[in-house]
């Protein structure tokens, strides 16, 4: 039978351990949520009066099938490189496609005259700048960013 | 010639931007080394060669919300596989139809358009869009490529992005010019006249679920040809009809993907060799390719491709017997195993290598050539390493 002091110590140890476990879990959840769709926002240039798009509409835009907004403004799509984690997250969680699928589709469109494909930028800052400065632009940003852009609610069902 | 084109493109690409204007343009430059051993499929000798060049430049000009013009020129050198030189790949007016009932979208291409009915047909000359520089010959037969690349005529495409499925319907009607190298392939190198394609009629349907993990499709092709002999020709005037049915499928996963196509091809020929000559045959084949992505930059490929020239003579023994041994049985079929590796060195830069082990030679040379047997051994190999840049 354990002595009371040792039980008290073991309680502190258990409490501390549980806190460490809780803290580790919290960090894990934060890490997981970093690659969750909720941390990514689909954004449009302030000139675009669109508040909501569903997955099907976004696929049409990002695969070049739809090239104009309803008010007649030309849509210009900006994306990051295939290897960028934010782009991979956007493909996977929003479009439900793999980056290589999307790239191949864009290559087929570009090199068989089917239409205009998204513009790839080389850095996150270039993406934000392009979205802010291009009329009719659409893209994505990290949710925590404060940018001069209009957020689009995405219906994922 | 190709050095000049490559230099011009290098200059042009340095200014290339995805301009946010009504005009966009892109291109590609690719050079490789290749070798076919014990076959004349790429070269007549067994030497390593640099006859693997693909250069292209395209433009897309948006005249209005619904009307655009698209065009591409390219320079190709594929050894014996097809005619070397520059050509107009496509040039057409793209008319996007106003929104159709039920959420359908449609477009019409009028002019010289690309074949969009098979998995790789629309970009078979664009190196970065293919897994291998030599595509599976059962379906993407290089001896007949100009006919299958596209047509001068009209193409309509309709697509529907639904919550459950995405549908795509394509229909086209047109004709292509048949050059002399294709004539030789079809009728042997003794033919001196002209082949004219009366029409090629194609239709296809593709279905993809909302999860986008797979895609299936079916396509049909029907085409009539006429042969008009020259004065010093030993071929006679004649006709041929080709009808092709195909099934296509793709499965996509995060780290791997599979592509496959199956075909059945019916050929009906009359005249050409004798006034009362008539032949009907059905060929069958298909391929499957498995690609594994090791990481964001490197992927590997395994492939199998097979084709039988005549389903009633799958091992070619009747062919050999019928020709008194002039055409060996292995010209009645062709099986190919492929191993490939791709490395994306940097964005828009890639190096790709492949090795093919082949048994049979029905896709190597026209069976009507007198010296057909000298064109390939029963077992032969080919490989290539291709370096590419696109913008």
> What does the domain layout of chain A look like in residue ranges?
1-34, 37-155
pLDDT at position A18 is 55
- Model confidence at B282, pLDDT cuts 50, 70, 90, reads very high
Shortest distance between the Cα of A40 and any Cα of chain B, in A, equals 20
Residue of B nearest to A119 (CA): B18
Which of B122, B115, B52, B116 has its CA nearest to residue B81? B52
Q: Please tell me the distance from the alpha carbon of residue B184 to that of residue A28, in angstroms, as a whole number.
A: 67
CA distance A26 to chain B (A): 27
Domain boundaries, chain B: 2-390
pLDDT mean over A18-23: 51
- Give pLDDT, residue A4: 45
Cα R_g (chain B), whole angstroms:
21
Mean pLDDT for B148-167 is 93
Task: Return residues 229-248 of B near A (CB < 8 Å).
Answer: none
Domain at A37-155, CATH homologous superfamily: Periplasmic binding protein-like II (3.40.190.10)
pLDDT in tens, A51-106: 999 998 999 999 988 989 998 899 999 999 998 999 999 999 999 999 999 999 99
Give tens-digit pLDDT for B219-272: 999 999 999 999 888 889 999 999 999 999 999 999 999 999 999 999 999 998
Residues A141 and B4: their CA atoms lie apart, in Å, by 43
**Residue A14 has what pLDDT?**
57
Whether B16 shows a pLDDT value over 50: the answer reads: no
User: Which run of H or E residues covers position B385?
Assistant: strand B376-390
User: Which of A26-30, A41-45, B228-232, B358-362 is predicted least confidently?
Assistant: A26-30
* Mean pLDDT value across chain A: 81
Q: Beta partners for A112?
A: none
Higher pLDDT, B50 or B179: B50
User: CA B293 to CA B342: how far, in whole Å?
Assistant: 9
Closest-CA residue to B252 (of A105, A5, A149, A113): A105
Using CA atoms of A121, A122, A128, A133 in order, give the dihedral in degrees to the nearest 10.
-50
**Which pLDDT score is estimated for A43?**
96
The number of C-beta contacts closer than 8 angstroms across A and B is 90
Report the predicted TM-score, pTM, of the whole model to 2 decimal places.
Answer: 0.85
Q: Residue B152 corresponds to which tokens in the numbers above?
A: 């001068």
List Cβ neighbours of B85 (8 Å cut-off, separation of 6 or more): B1, B75, B76
Q: Smallest Cβ distance to B18: which of A57, A119, A122?
A: A119
Q: What is the pLDDT of residues B24-45, one digit of tens each?
A: 999 999 999 999 999 999 988 8
Which residue among B92, B159, B254 places its CB closest to the CB of A113?
Answer: B92
Q: pLDDT-derived band of residue B369, with 50, 70 and 90 as boundaries?
A: confident
- Write the DSSP symbol of residue B17: -
Residue B64, class by beta-carbon neighbours within 10 Å (0-12 exposed, 13-18 middle, 19+ buried)? exposed
- What is the signed CA dihedral for B132, B186, B35, B354, rounded to 10 degrees? 10
Q: Is B211 on the interface with A (CB under 8 A)?
A: yes
> At which residue do the structure tokens 């439900």 appear?
A96
Alpha-carbon B391 to chain mean position: 22
Contact A60 B105 (CB under 8 A): yes
* Digit-coded pLDDT (tens) for B102-152: 989 999 999 999 999 999 999 999 999 999 999 999 999 987 787 788 999
Kindly list the residues of chain A whose beta carbon comes within 8 Å of any beta carbon in chain B: 55-57, 59-60, 65-68, 72, 76, 81-83, 92, 95-98, 100-101, 104, 107-108, 110-116, 119-120, 122, 134, 157
Cβ distance of B94 and A115 shorter than 8 Å:
yes
The region of weakest confidence among A53-62, A145-154, B197-206, B317-326 is A145-154
Q: Which pLDDT score, from 0 to 100, does residue B57 have?
A: 98
pLDDT given for residue A25 in this prediction: 46
Q: State the best of A76, A113, A118 to mutate against chain B, taking most chain B CBs within 10 Å.
A: A113
Q: What pLDDT sits at residue B163?
A: 84
Give the pLDDT band of residue A29 (cuts 50, 70, 90).
very low
Among all residues of chain A, which has the CA nearest to that of B89?
Answer: A112
CB half-sphere exposure, B263, CA atoms < 13 A: 30
Region A120-131 average pLDDT: 94
Provide the sign of the torsion angle of the four alpha carbons B150, B155, B159, B165, taken in this order.
negative
Judged by CB atoms closer than 8 Å, whether chains meet at A111 and B116 is answered as no
> What's the confidence (pLDDT) of residue A10?
52
| Cβ neighbourhood burial of B116 (10 Å; 0-12, 13-18, 19+) | buried
Judged by a CB distance cut-off of 8 A, whether residue B285 touches chain A is no
- Could you tell me the pLDDT band of residue B324, with boundaries at 50, 70 and 90? very high
Give the residue carrying structure tokens 């632009």: A137
Distance from CA of B105 to the nearest CA of A (A): 8
**pLDDT of amino acid B181:** 80
Shortest alpha-carbon distance between residue A77 and chain B (Å): 10
- What pLDDT does A17 receive? 53
Secondary structure (DSSP) of B180-236: HHHHHHHH-TT--SEEEEEEEEEEEEEEEETT-SEEEEEEEEEEEEEEE--TT-SS-
Q: Does B65 touch chain A (CB under 8 A)?
A: yes
- In chain A, what residues touch B126 (CB-CB under 8 Å)? 107, 111
**Token representation of residue B1:** 């010639």
Q: Which neighbouring-strand residues pair with B174? A: B153, B200
A42 min Cα distance to partner chain B (Å): 20
Task: Give chain B's mean pLDDT.
Answer: 91
Angstrom distance (rounded) from CA B45 to CA B166? 48
With cut-offs at 50, 70 and 90, classify the pLDDT of residue A30: very low
Q: Tokens 């549980």 belong to which residue?
A: A18
Q: Which of chain B's residues have a Cβ under 8 Å away from the Cβ of A111?
A: 26, 28, 56, 58, 72, 122-123, 126, 129
CA nearest to B291 within chain A: A100
The fold adopted by the segment(s) B2-390 is: Porin (2.40.160)
What's residue B85's pLDDT?
Answer: 93
Q: Please determine, for residue A32, whether its predicted confidence score (pLDDT) is greater than 50.
A: no
Contact B161 A60 (CB under 8 A): yes
């Amino acid at each position: 039978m354990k002595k009371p002091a040792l039980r008290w110590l073991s309680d502190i140890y258990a409490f501390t351990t549980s806190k460490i476990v809780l803290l580790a879990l919290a960090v894990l959840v934060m890490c997981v949520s970093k690659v969750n769709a909720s941390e990514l926002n689909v954004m449009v240039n302030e000139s675009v009066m669109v508040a909501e798009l569903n997955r099907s509409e976004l696929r049409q835009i990002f695969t070049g099938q739809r090239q104009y907004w309803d008010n007649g403004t030309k849509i210009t799509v900006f994306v990051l490189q295939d290897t960028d984690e934010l782009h991979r997250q956007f493909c996977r969680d929003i479009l439900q496609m793999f980056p290589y699928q999307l790239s191949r589709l864009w290559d087929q469109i570009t090199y068989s005259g089917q239409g205009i494909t998204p513009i790839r930028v080389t850095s996150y800052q270039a993406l934000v700048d392009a979205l802010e400065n291009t009329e009719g632009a659409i893209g994505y940003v990290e949710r925590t960013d404060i940018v001069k852009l209009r957020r689009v609610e995405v219906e994922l069902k | 010639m190709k050095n000049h084109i490559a230099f011009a493109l290098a200059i042009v690409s340095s200014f290339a931007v995805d301009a946010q204007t009504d005009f966009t343009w892109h291109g590609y430059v690719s050079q490789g080394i290749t070798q076919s051993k014990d076959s004349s499929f790429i070269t007549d000798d067994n030497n390593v060669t640099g006859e693997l060049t693909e250069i292209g430049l395209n433009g897309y000009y948006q005249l209005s919300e619904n009307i655009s013009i698209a065009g591409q020129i390219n320079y190709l050198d594929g050894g014996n596989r097809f005619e070397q030189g520059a050509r107009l790949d496509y040039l057409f007016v793209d008319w996007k139809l106003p929104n159709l009932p039920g959420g359908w979208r449609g477009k019409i291409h009028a002019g010289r358009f690309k074949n969009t009915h098979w998995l790789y047909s629309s970009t078979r000359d664009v190196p970065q869009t293919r897994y291998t520089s030599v595509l599976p010959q059962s379906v993407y037969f290089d001896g007949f490529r100009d006919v299958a690349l596209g047509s001068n005529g009209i193409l309509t495409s309709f697509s529907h992005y639904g919550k459950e499925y995405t549908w795509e319907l394509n229909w086209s009607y047109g004709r292509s010019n048949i050059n002399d190298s294709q004539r030789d392939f079809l009728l042997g190198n003794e033919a001196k006249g002209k082949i004219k394609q009366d029409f090629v009629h194609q239709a296809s349907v593709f279905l993809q679920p909302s999860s986008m993990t797979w895609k299936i499709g079916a396509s049909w092709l029907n085409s009539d040809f006429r042969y008009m002999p020259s004065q010093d020709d030993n071929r006679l005037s004649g006709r041929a009809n080709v009808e092709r049915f195909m099934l296509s499928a793709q499965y996509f996963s995060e780290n791997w993907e599979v592509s496959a196509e199956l075909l059945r091809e019916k050929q009906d020929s009359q005249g050409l060799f004798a006034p009362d000559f008539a032949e009907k045959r059905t060929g069958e084949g298909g391929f499957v390719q498995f690609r594994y992505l090791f990481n964001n930059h490197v992927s590997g490929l395994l492939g199998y491709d097979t084709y039988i020239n005549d389903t009633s003579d799958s091992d070619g023994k009747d062919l050999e017997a019928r020709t008194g041994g002039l055409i060996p049985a292995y010209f009645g079929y062709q099986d190919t195993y492929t191993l490939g590796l791709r490395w994306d060195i940097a964005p828009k830069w890639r190096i790709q290598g492949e090795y093919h082990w082949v048994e049979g030679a029905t896709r190597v040379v026209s069976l009507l050539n007198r010296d057909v047997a000298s064109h390939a051994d029963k077992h032969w190999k080919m490989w290539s390493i291709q370096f590419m840049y696109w913008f």
